[in-house]
Amino acid sequence: MNEKKKSRLRRAKRTRAKISELRVNRLCIYRSPRHIYAQVISPDHKVLATATSLGEKKTGNVESAIQVGKEIAEKAKAAGVTSVAFDRSGYQYHGRVKALADAARENGLEF
């Protein structure tokens, strides 16, 4: 495993430890070069809502991240979740990660 990935996973581990202490729902994301994935996970590790960019034509960009943010917010509200902790999985809060978070906030999720 290269150093960049080790550092990201170390940051993710620290964030997840803090969120698990708080015992709140978390919005967890995973970013690959082509797609972005989001899940709302309960404190007892049950997945409440999911959204991905897999069904879209152009995917590795900010516009698809915005669509995933809107979709995850709608599905979370349908599952009765209004407030979450944002688990960025060690990724920088920039670009697609920031776009997804902003879209989720605009559509009713509170971080």
Rounded to two decimals, what is the model's pTM? 0.94
Identify the pLDDT of residue 103.
98
Identify the pLDDT of residue 25.
97
Question: Is 90 exceeded by the pLDDT of residue 97?
Answer: yes
Question: Is 90 exceeded by the pLDDT of residue 1?
Answer: no
Identify the pLDDT of residue 108.
94
Question: Dihedral angle at the C-alpha atoms of 78, 104, 43, 29, nearest 10 degrees?
Answer: 120
Spell out the domain ranges in the chain: 3-106
Q: For the domain bounded by 3-106, which CATH number is listed?
A: 3.30.420.100
Backbone dihedral angles phi then psi of residue 97, each to the nearest 5 degrees:
-65, -45
Average pLDDT over residues 21-42: 97
Average pLDDT over residues 46-57: 95
